[in-house]
Amino acid sequence: RKQLVQQASSDIPAGLMRCEVIALLLIALMELRRAGLLEGVSTL
């Protein structure tokens, strides 16, 4: 049982890290799109 608990506890942080990385990437893409839109409007 101890081994199963250790594996589960080690899998949870890994999953959170993956979710955080994906979230950060999505936020970065949104910021880049906003910056691109702002630059496009300013250039017009």
pLDDT for 9-36, tens place per residue? 666 677 778 888 999 999 999 998 888 8
Q: How far apart, in whole angstroms, are the C-alpha atoms of residue 39 and residue 22? A: 26
pTM over 0.85: no
- Alpha helices (H) along the chain: 2-43
Other Cβ atoms closer than 10 A to 44? 5
Burial of 23 (0-12, 13-18, 19+ CB in 10 A): exposed
Distance of alpha carbon 33 from alpha carbon 25, whole angstroms: 12
Residue 16's pLDDT is 75
